[in-house]
Structure 1
Amino acid sequence: MPLQYHPLNREFPQFETQMRTLLQVDGHFARLAEEYEQLDKRIYEVVDGRVAMDELQLQGLKMQRVTLKDEIETLLRGGTVG
């Protein structure tokens, strides 16, 4: 399987309009989205071999990405994050 980034627009294509709106009007959402994108890029660089990191640290980054993705999905669905 080829190595891929996991951008939010690919993860949540059904929420494209909501994402664009929230990025413009919701600072909290915009910060979460930026943090997610930076984390995704960092994970990609590690998996691609450009950056050295042990497996435990990499798994920690992946867990952070999943947590952010869950928070972002909650906001996209109109919920609140706690």
Structure 2
Amino acid sequence: MNVEHHDLHHDFPDMADQIRELKMNDRHFARLFDEYHELDKEVRKIEEDTTPASDDTLDALRLKRVHLKDDLYAMLKEA
């Protein structure tokens, strides 16, 4: 199965400098960034069939990932 990458650097390549700056200087952003990437890793494992999970669980994780990405993007736009 071909699993799409959803990491921030891939989705927002034009914001690489802001991502790096906020990761280093904003603890809240850094915490959300780490949480987002751990969640993304978990979703990918399920999508790749390495970790079993119900469809409801996968949908809930995807929704949480979207909300985190929205929050991170809002912070990036403000930076």
Taking structure 2 as the reference length, the TM-score comes to 0.94
Identity value in percent: 34
After TM superposition, which residue ranges in structure 1, 4 or more long, deviate above 6 angstroms?
none
How much does 1:14 deviate?
1.4
Aligned equivalent of 1:54:
54
Aligned equivalent of 1:23:
23
* Root mean square deviation of aligned Cα: 1.3
- Please state if 1:45 is matched with 2:10: no
Alignment deviations for residues 4-31 of structure 1 (CA, whole Å, 9 cap, x no partner): 3311100111111000000000000000
C-alpha distance in structure 2 between counterparts of 1:4 and 1:22, whole Å: 25
Structure 1 residues 2-11 or 27-36, which shifts more? 2-11
Structure 1 residues 9-18 or 60-69, which shifts more? 9-18
C-alpha distance in structure 1 between counterparts of 2:41 and 2:5, whole Å: 7
SS of structure 2 residue aligned to 1:4: coil
What is the identity, as a one-letter code, of the residue corresponding to 1:4? E
How much does 1:44 deviate?
0.4
Structure with the higher fraction of residues in helix conformation = 2
**Which structure would you say has the larger RCO, counting Cα contacts within 8 Å and 6 or more residues apart?**
2
Taking structure 1 as the reference length, the TM-score comes to 0.91
Contact 1:5/1:41 (8 A) holds in 2: no
C-alpha distance in structure 1 between counterparts of 2:49 and 2:62, whole Å: 16
Tell me the matched-pair count.
79
How much does 1:2 deviate?
2.0
Aligned equivalent of 2:73:
73
Aligned equivalent of 2:63:
63
